[in-house]
Amino acid sequence: SSVETNLQEALSKRNQALFDGSRMRHQINELQTRLTQLQETHENSAVRLSQQTIRQIATMEKIIHVAGLDPEKIKVPHTQKPLGQGGPFIPASSKDLLPAGKLKNSLINLASHLDRLNALKRVMERLPLTAPLDNWSITSRFGKRRDPINKRWSAHYGVDFGGVKRQSIYATAPGTVRTAGWKSKYGRFIEIDHGSGVRTRYGHLHKILVKRGQKVNFRHKIGLLGNSGRSTGPHLHYETVFNGKAIDPMKFLKAGRYVFQEQ
């Protein structure tokens, strides 16, 4: 009788365990189905965001290219120092991969594109895409020209903007003043470093309103148009330089018009 009672209890517990196991397997299947659906939904969202980010990156790279710069060579400013990491490389096996690994890869890919987009945005914010004065006419373009004084052929590494004497001159992008003073044939001269290898130069000024080391914002009034140095009349000699090489400023203005059209 005692043995029979023990067998009945064991059988009852076994049947309960089988029932609980069946119920848990059903719950696991439901959870796996929900996890798969959730993963697919979020993965599709990550893919769409990646595609949108890639299109924005392409637009910004096109604007940078129109400005005469190589997007792959431009220096990207860092907002923070990278955290220290290290250790030996041990390849992960399939057993080490966590659930939703495909979604994780999509998110890693999205994060990479977002990093690139944010870096290009920081570059775009500091590109000189507007003219340095409000009202102007071009009196001499970039490139080969007849020198206005001796009439001999010469290289002109900027653009001359004709205007009214004492007309306001503005910084064409945020940056730091590297030079502010008299510079030989340029007369009263300002150079601004905008980061990413980009600098702008302003020559023949009547008056300088900034000093070396000063931080300036976009459209900060930096000087007055004049006729100092080697000049035949009131105008602004304006240069844009990338990694020490002169770039036609009109390319930057063309890129700026493209930006405003996109907006």
pLDDT tens for residues 162-196?
999 999 999 999 999 999 999 999 999 999 999 98
Query: Which tens digits make up the pLDDT trace of 114-136?
Result: 998 998 888 888 999 999 999 99
Tokens at 211, concatenated: 């000093």
Distance CA 187, CA 171 (A): 18
pTM exceeds 0.85, yes or no: no
Query: Which tens digits make up the pLDDT trace of 53-93?
Result: 999 999 999 999 999 888 888 776 655 555 566 666 666 55
Residue 224 above 80 pLDDT? yes
Helix axes 249-262, 2-66, angle to 10 degrees: 130
Q: What is the pLDDT of residue 44?
A: 83
Q: How confident is the model at residue 104 (pLDDT cuts 50, 70, 90)?
A: confident
The whole-number average pLDDT for the span 221-241 is 95
Instruction: State which amino acid sits at residue 138.
Output: I
DSSP the chain: -HHHHHHHHHHHHHHHHHHHHHHHHHHHHHHHHHHHHHHHHHHHHHHHHHHHHHHHHHHHHHHHHHTT--TTTSPPPPSSPPPP------PPPGGGPPTTHHHHHHHHHHHHHHHHHHHHHHHHTTS--S-SSSS-EEEE-SEEEE-TTT--EEEE-SEEEE--TT-EEE-SSSEEEEEEEE-GGG-EEEEEEEETTEEEEEEEEEEE---TT-EE-TT-EEEEEB--SS-SSSEEEEEEEETTEEE-HHHHHHHHHHHHHH-
Q: What is the pLDDT of residue 98?
A: 54
209 neighbors 167 (Cβ within 8 angstroms)? no
Residue 256 above 80 pLDDT? yes
